[in-house]
Structure 1
């Protein structure tokens, strides 16, 4: 069996681990594993994350490519039928671990869970300040060329959930902000303490944090460098949920299973529409939503969902 493309993309990495299908079909787990530095973001971690998310983008496009082969009735040809679990027909069988057969076909990715290793006891404790100290302004500008890891995560075509299993500070908090949702253990610590180093957030914190918690609260956190626990973060909207440590994995898995059971195409389109709300004026956002909705009407999954509802049965999603 060939490894899933996402797993293969980071197979040689010493700082990032990937698995597919362990939580639910089509769900990718990416685990940052740099325990000696509490998962601080250095060049190796950033590059590994970019490689992984590039592979996620390619794997999540499987259903999109299949849509191009769909005729007016919404049916696909014999080489591309996919059942609700993400398993493909005899030309491309995929097992629950995300392994693929010799043809190279693979189940499409439906959701990503990003977290830190348990050994590190952190999500991401911040940027690697040793690297920062060694750079000149010119070198930092080159290292900050877009797209950075934050934009790579934010532009992922499927939802990304930050499983905040410990400290998420500085660049780590910004990485969590780049995700679509954040579920944190209640005793996790979050904040933007760059001001204490004579710096300011440089990975999106001045832009994404106000969109989550409001300008005043964001500026307070940034100017004071205050570190807050996940319960407080949930109160102000920095995380969606703060749960007891023993319940974190169950809660993340329950959410992942729920989303993975929906139409992959509808999930991608809905995610795209909601993200647009933070970037577009209302009228433009409404027009974008309309086009995405219209594109779902008459799609295989759109027809299948309505038919299944009317026939009182479970739908069989094809992701197209």
Structure 2
């Protein structure tokens, strides 16, 4: 099921899936996205799995989004395919029969944050940080963030975060309604599992129907938005601006190190 980049533990009825690239703050590449998709697809089809906790290894980041070396070298067509791959992953999570709860410790940025937006619920440690900083790289969110973030926190607040690329702390994320609960880093996984078990103790059929009913309101209306998001993301890679901005960011990172 899982491999080197994604780890999976199952303690019935809850499966815990962990992104496993802590050495690069759990930044994604295509291989990780493919492995995560395959792992979740198999879990969602398993009758014994009633809930999935999505988390990460290490304590510095859930995921800081795309590996910047990887993003720097994409062309427009590759960028569009990446966006569609990320959107498919998030759609898989959002439409799954089991409840999916994100347990976030550290940074959840860019595509990393977008993956958490597709989950049903989000618990975060006090040291967590959230943001869609793509605009600082001359690109846009590509995994459905332009559609899901306004739905969660309202259009005005979402636009501010998307336009500025600002990173916010867990307290403000909770105040905005981005996350359901803030807990200590030590208790994050335990409290997430407790919530998962509380939900799975209810009628599984009823919970699934509630999830489907809630999502149905947005599914059809969002389709055009997702398609445009992929096209717009690809458009960002038709000029050199994103490469210039990424190199500037990499220079700052290297100077800090």
TM range (shorter): 0.7 to 0.9
RMSD between aligned residues: 1.6
Aligned to 1:18: 8
Residues 53, 193 of structure 2: 8 Å contact kept: no
Residues 8, 15 of structure 2: 8 Å contact kept: yes
Matches within 5 A, 1:1-320: 9-10=1-2, 13-21=3-11, 25-59=12-46, 62=47, 108-117=48-57, 119=58, 121-145=60-84, 148-279=88-219
Greater length-normalized contact order (CA 8 Å, ≥ 6 residues apart): 2
Q: How many residues align?
A: 220
Residues 185, 248 of structure 1: 8 Å contact kept: yes
SS at match of 1:31: strand
- TM-score (normalised: structure 2): 0.81
- Give unmatched runs, 5+ long, in structure 2: 222-257
Superposed displacement of residue 151, structure 1: 1.7
**Distance (Å, rounded) in 2 between the aligned partners of 1:235 and 1:251:** 19
**Distance (Å, rounded) in 1 between the aligned partners of 2:76 and 2:32:** 21
Residues 95, 212 of structure 2: 8 Å contact kept: no
Residues 8, 17 of structure 2: 8 Å contact kept: yes
- Give unmatched runs, 5+ long, in structure 1: 1-8, 63-107, 282-320
Structure 1, residues 72-115: CA drift from partner, whole Å, max 9, x if none? Answer: xxxxxxxxxxxxxxxxxxxxxxxxxxxxxxxxxxxx21011000
Superposed displacement of residue 280, structure 1: 6.0
Superposed displacement of residue 265, structure 1: 1.8
Superposed displacement of residue 120, structure 1: 5.3
Aligned to 1:294: none
**Structure with the larger helix share:** 2
Kindly tell me: are residues 250 and 57 of structure 1, through their superposed partners in 2, closer, same or farther at Cα, counting changes over 3 Å?
closer
Superposed displacement of residue 18, structure 1: 0.3
Larger Rg: 1
